[in-house]
Structure 1
Amino acid sequence: MSEEAVDNVATEGTWAIPMLVLFPSGLIVIITDLGVPWLVGAWICIGLAGLLIATGWIQAVRNGIRRATGWATCAAVHLVLAWQVARLLA
């Protein structure tokens, strides 16, 4: 396996970046009264995280699912995203 192929493999970092983007949205959902400006900010964070997650999946699929690592972080970011979307829609 070439060094370039190893560099393109999806890793923990691939899924950690969307998790960091979801952090402010989680704080908004937990701490605020969910007024309109807060909801807009939360949905922007969730949309950006969704875009980053889609980019991570593209990288994982393009470079081989079997070589990808960081599945625990992948599952965690998907669970957090689902929780926040459900909380905002409720």
Structure 2
Amino acid sequence: MSEEAVENVATEGTWAVPMLVLFPSGLIVIITDLAAPWLIGAWICVGLAVLLIATGWIQAVRNGLRRATGWTTCAGVHLVLAWQVVRLLA
């Protein structure tokens, strides 16, 4: 396997970045009363996380799902994203 192919494989880091972006949104949901400015900030974080997750999936599919790693983190970020969306819509 070439070095370039190894570098392009989706890894834990691919899914950890969106998780880090969701962290502020989770704090906003838990700590604040979700006033308008906080709600807007939380939705911006969620939107950015969705873009990063989509980028991760593009990378994983483009370079082969069998070679991709970090499926535990992938599942975690999807669960956290779903929880955040449900909390923000409620």
Aligned equivalent of 1:11? 11
Deviation track 1:21-77 (CA, whole Å, cap 9, x = no partner) reads: 000000000000000000000000000000000000000000000000000000000
User: Could you tell me how far apart the structure 1 residues matched to 2:19 and 2:84 are?
Assistant: 12
Stretches of structure 2 that go unaligned for 5 or more consecutive residues are none
4+ aligned runs moved over 6 Å, structure 1 = none
TM-score between the two structures when normalised by the length of structure 1: 0.99
User: Could you tell me how far apart the structure 2 residues matched to 1:45 and 1:88 are?
Assistant: 12
Amino acid at match of 2:37: P
**Identity percentage of aligned residues:** 88
Amino acid at match of 2:46: I
CA RMSD of aligned residues (A): 0.3
TM-score between the two structures when normalised by the length of structure 2: 0.99
Aligned equivalent of 2:34? 34
Stretches of structure 1 that go unaligned for 5 or more consecutive residues are none
User: Could you tell me how far apart the structure 2 residues matched to 1:72 and 1:44 are?
Assistant: 25
